[in-house]
Amino acid sequence: MFIEFSEEQTMLRDSAEKYLRDNYTFDRRQAIVKQPRGFCAEHWQMFADLGWLAMTFSEDAGGFGGGALETMILCEQFGKHLVLEPYLESVVLVGGLIERGASAAIQEQVLSGIVSGELQGAFAYLEEGRVADPWSVATHAEKDGDDFVIEGNKTVVLNGPEADFFVVSARTGTSDTASLDNISLFLVAKETAGLSLRNYKTYDGRAACELRLDQVKVPAGNLLGALDGAYELAQPVFARGIVAVCAEAIGAMDALLEATVNYTKQRKQFGQPISSFQVLRHRMVDMYMEIELSRSLLMATAWKLDNAAPDAEQCVAALKAKVGKAGRYVSHNAIQLHGGIGTTDELSVGHYFKRLAAIGVMFGSRDYHLSRAVSF
């Protein structure tokens, strides 16, 4: 699918490409990974100054009214440079949930902080043994006067160590963990009593934590959206998140293909560059085709989300399944064609491999989304 970008969208792509190319080299990225907080505060503030953190919020919320296409454009550039800053976690997911479901008072206070770069959030929705399905929730919340009391554990809470607050999913009705009903979302401040974190770095270098909620009491006003209405509130936000990570994956695959082509032109065997071997050239053409097919589906999906097409959700599921397959194919072949050096920490190839592997299981596995795509 071909979509002609507007002048503003082209400017966004060009500005992101230029800033990251000049300021986010692989060596600088590796230095950021080693920092305790896992991202660069200066880069994050610059993202705010450039308007990237405000881009997808409505004008009423202090944003620029961008949509899935703008998210796609920006995240593709993030993927090319393996950006570590929590744009997906804090802006796309948490910001999207607050804009859609929080009270006017919470929106005014929290969204302005997210847009300015002063506040960050984390979405705590995954649970141990249930990470393949984001809607398998065992954490529960019970009404207690004017409050809710939440009990449970969350796993792989991305950006949890740096978050000022969490959006937590919990069951407010039946205990059936396979049901999409009776799940609610709550805004929980980090300093709330009964909240404890165990911080760590993920496989691909992100900051994450295990979150325990031990009789955590939150005001009823911190409920996002309607009681038992988490699925209706969060599913469109998940769809935007899937577009974001798939765009990031395609940016990463672009970088991997470019690195692989350049390496095969330099690496010689039997007195000639290995790029001259037909079987390897065919392999790289196959990598290119996987990327372009994924890109076409990505653009179509982003356009359908922005235009509320009736088959938008089906396209989201198909996109996640397709990018999971393509990311695996491209990253595995990049490693093979680089040989042993492809797995070293000093070369970017292995880091792209790890990021694509992590994206492959985010928001549900390939099999999970493949079954969703054919069920519509």
Per-residue pLDDT tens digits for 133-167: 788 899 999 999 999 999 999 999 999 999 999 99
Residues near 112 by beta carbon (within 8 Å), at least 6 away in sequence:
62
Rounded to the nearest integer, the mean pLDDT of the chain is 94
Question: pLDDT at position 238, please?
Answer: 96
What is the secondary structure of 242-262 as a DSSP string? HHHHHHHHHHHHHHHHHHHHH
Mean pLDDT throughout 241-245?
Answer: 98
pLDDT digits (tens, 9 = 90+) for 53-101: 999 999 988 899 999 999 999 999 999 999 999 999 999 999 999 999 9
How far is 297 from 289, CA to CA, in rounded Å?
A: 12
pLDDT digits (tens, 9 = 90+) for 209-226: 999 999 999 999 999 999
Amino acid at 160: G
Question: pLDDT at position 28, please?
Answer: 95
Question: Angle at the Cα of 116 (from 210 to 222), degrees rounded to 5?
Answer: 50
Enter the tokens of residue 197: 């974190």
**Regarding the domain with residue range 122-228, which homologous superfamily does it belong to in the CATH classification?**
Butyryl-CoA Dehydrogenase, subunit A, domain 2 (2.40.110.10)
Burial grade of 193 (CB within 10 A; 0-12, 13-18, 19 or more) = exposed
The per-residue b/e assignment along 310-337, b for 16 or more CB within 10 angstroms, e otherwise, is eebbbbbbbbbbbbbbbbbbbbebbbeb
CB 304 within 8 A of CB 311: yes
Strand partners, 315: none
User: Does the global pTM surpass 0.85?
Assistant: yes
Question: pLDDT at position 125, please?
Answer: 96
Question: pLDDT at position 180, please?
Answer: 82
pLDDT digits (tens, 9 = 90+) for 17-57: 999 999 999 999 999 998 888 899 999 999 999 999 999 99
CB 262 within 8 A of CB 338: no
Q: Which fold has domain 7-120?
A: Butyryl-Coa Dehydrogenase, subunit A; domain 1 (1.10.540)
Question: pLDDT at position 219, please?
Answer: 96
Enter the tokens of residue 237: 């936000």
Query: Which CATH class name applies to 231-375?
Result: mainly alpha
Tell me how far CA of residue 323 lies from CA of 82, 122, 233, 254, 296, in angstroms. 17, 24, 25, 13, 11
CB 136 within 8 A of CB 63: no
End-to-end CA distance of the chain: 21
Mean pLDDT throughout 247-257?
Answer: 98
Task: Please say if the pLDDT value at position 334 is more than 80.
Answer: yes
Name the DSSP class of 118.
S
How far is 151 from 127, CA to CA, in rounded Å?
A: 13
- Domain ranges in the chain are 7-120, 122-228, 231-375
How far is 206 from 220, CA to CA, in rounded Å?
A: 32
Question: pLDDT at position 89, please?
Answer: 97
How far is 224 from 234, CA to CA, in rounded Å?
A: 10
How far is 280 from 272, CA to CA, in rounded Å?
A: 13
Specify the length of the chain in residues.
376
Question: pLDDT at position 177, please?
Answer: 65
Question: pLDDT at position 261, please?
Answer: 96
Tell me the pLDDT band of 178, cut-offs 50, 70 and 90. low
What sections of the chain are H helices per DSSP? 7-23, 26-33, 41-49, 68-80, 96-101, 104-106, 112-116, 230-266, 278-306, 312-338, 348-361, 366-375
